[in-house]
Amino acid sequence: MMKHNQVLSTTQLKRLENHKYSCQSSSLLDPILQPWWNFLLRRIPMSLAPNFITIVGLMVNIASALVLILYSPDAKGEPPAWACFLCAAGLFAYQSLDAIDGKQARRTNTSSPLGELFDHGCDSISTMFVALSACISVQIGHHPYWMFFQCFCAMTLFYCAHWQTYVSGTLRFGKIDVTEAQIIIMGIHVISGIFGASIWKSKIGGIEVWYFVAFSTIILGSMSLVQIFSVILAGGVGKNGSTVAGTSVLSPIIPFSMILVPAFIISQKSTEDVFETYPSLYIITFGMVAAKVTNRLVVAHMTKSELEYLDWGLIGPLMLFLNQYFNNFLPERVVLFGATAWCTFDLIKYCSQVCLEICNHLNIHLFKITPQLHGVPAGGPGAKEEHNNGANHVHSATQPHRKQNRVSRRYNN
């Protein structure tokens, strides 16, 4: 049963209570960075809510990326060195705060399904800004369709990671994954800050340096996709090899295709070269829709429910498509600004409403630590924590205990 204007049904909220976090990670850099994260955690007040730590990190990351975007919105101009250093620092701050939010949740006994969802939601938004800022630091706007590929590749990989989670019930990270990619991008910003963004146009053996970055993305991205789809095509944990919700393991391809395909077609059909002229705005527009669809996929996994194909966020791309269909009744740049505003508003509205509904259901606050009942473990009644090398899984006491064979991901809330 669902009330008017309610995003999550009563059934979904009930299932969310019983959700247990499952994650496997073999990251090369996570163990190396653990001492720094633990050092930072000890300096965080116990009164600070985990989700507040996450949102502060995201705001810092977005703000530093926006500075870079403002100086070079077309990714062709050379941004000032300080803006590149600022972006590297902003990403480092986000990575560090994102790493300790789960630790703070366990430390304050405030772990909940909301924390996991909030963390992934922030990551979905950060992914787009991180990829876009890297493209600007490399001045890849001179090759707009490489820029298109790099940014949408990052969004696709993030979506596919949660797609395989929806299928298998376990979030998996490889040896070279999120942490490693973030460190590489920090390095790109630092190099651009020291030598100038034009350094990427230098040639080695007759090949411009930025090509090595681009092809490295292709290689690493392909390796990740092979691992992800090997899990997806092996079948899910649901009945007859279906997803956790009992749906087809291939069904999540449809919602994301409804973003990716229009993004490419609209850029190709534009008579005003709207993507080449406003690449940052174009990517942010579709990135907001991608972030919302990814969040809906995470919600579908955590509530064991079907992922719906249509979404209000698609109105933004539809505005661009219909304007082209009617021979640009309005200037494309005007429609793009409108689409950006709508997609951003729709994402914020959805995330706010989902968080509010979960907070009301679990009787907790989003950015404030709610006092726990004495004797009730974090994660709710009947839950227990398994600690493993500084990380943990929250298991329902009614579910069989499954031993994890790898270190769990650091941001479990």
Could you give the residue numbers annotated as active site? 120
Q: DSSP assignment, residue 172?
A: E
CB-based contacts of 137: which residues, under 8 Å, 6+ apart?
A: 68, 79, 84, 87, 188, 189, 192, 197
Strand 207-208 with 203-204, pairing: antiparallel
**If you ran DSSP here, which 8-state letter would residue 364 be given?**
-
End-to-end CA distance of the chain: 28
Count Cβ atoms within 10 A of the Cβ of residue 59 and give its class: 0-12 exposed, 13-18 middle, 19 or more buried: middle
Residue 60 Cα to chain centre, angstroms: 15
Contact between 131 and 178 under an 8 Å Cβ cutoff? The reply is: no
Q: Which residues pair with 395 in a beta bridge?
A: 384
What radius of gyration do the chain's Cα atoms show? 21
Instruction: For residue 99, give the 3-state DSSP assignment.
Output: helix
Sign of the alpha-carbon torsion through 83, 86, 90, 96: positive
**Which residues fall within 8 angstroms of residue 18, CB to CB, at 6 or more apart?**
396, 398, 399
DSSP secondary structure string for all residues of 243-295? -TTSS-TTTTHHHHHHHHHHHHHHHHH-SS-HHHHSHHHHHHHHHHHHHHHHH
Report d(CA 396, CA 303) in Å as an integer: 14
